[in-house]
Amino acid sequence: MWYPFSAKLKPYSTIIGAAYYYEIGELIGLIRSMFATNNHHPEILSKPNVRMTKRYLTGSSPPKTVCSITFKTDQNEYKLQRCFYEQYSVEAKLHKIGTDIVYHGQNAIQVLTKFHKPLIVSDEHLFRSNSSIFKPINDYSRKTLVALANNWLRMVGIGDSSFDIDYEGRWSLRGDFSHFYVGRHHRAKMPSVHNLFSKLAQAVMKKRTYSMCVPICCPFDIETLNNFEAIAVIDLIKHVCKEEGIQFIVAMNSNNKINSMIDAVEAPNLSIYET
């Protein structure tokens, strides 16, 4: 579950900072669940064995998570509210702001399927990193994706590794990037800063090619970067988003010093909820 938190997105780029990376994973998972249309199962609460078994095993029912997101389409503004019981959505409400039109339950989910929803991306596998936002449509777009991402790496001082993309849209890395890993279990993942730039390049190319791109939400683990490097990455992302007119949401583990310098929306410190 996620703890009390509220954020208003900015026109182009929004930076959300939390103390730990696992909190970012939970927040991104919640946002993904909010716009998912295959997780609504209110009938789970009507099964008597579920509640009884949970109370028997844990002494209390699992906590519920309530979340609301206000978003705009080309023509209207909506407020989506959902209640989750563990990973299942059990209540849903969609209000068309400025009108008396309100959808509940499965009707709200059906309306939600008709919208272009934000794309919530995750850490990518090092050897199976596909183009989830924009797949190159020709050799020019493939080379442009590579050039953009590699140029950004150099601009923030990461010159010992570089990207390549095959004609199927699969990303790969060349060079020495071993110092971006902390722990053996991370070695199967693409380094977080590389993953971030690959997603940003795809968003830019999609906007240039189709004149539109849905908002993108991407995690960013700064554990292997120093403060200067992390700030340089964020400043570059802000500049690119403003120049290209795309909305990019970066959720990162951070600290108060960095947050103050990059104008981040700070998530609450979870220690205040520990008893």
Instruction: Let me know how long the chain is.
Output: 275
Band (pLDDT 50/70/90 cuts) for residue 187 is: low
Between the CA of residue 92 and those of 110, 234, 256, what are the distances in Å? 11, 35, 35
d(CA 212, CA 181): 34
The helix (H) or strand (E) run that includes residue 199 is helix 192-210
pLDDT over threshold 70, residue 101? yes
- In degrees and rounded to multiples of 5, residue 103 shows phi and psi of -110, 140
The pLDDT of 15-44, averaged and rounded, is 90
With 0-12 / 13-18 / 19 or more C-beta atoms within 10 angstroms meaning exposed / middle / buried, residue 33 is middle
pTM score: 0.86
Model pLDDT, residue 140: 95
pLDDT over threshold 70, residue 94? yes
Band (pLDDT 50/70/90 cuts) for residue 2 is: low
pLDDT over threshold 90, residue 271? no
The pLDDT of 135-157, averaged and rounded, is 95
- The closest of 263, 262, 183, 266 to 228, measured between CA atoms, is 262
pLDDT in tens, 76-90: 999 999 999 888 899
Domains, the chain:
38-112 (no CATH), 139-273 (3.40.50)
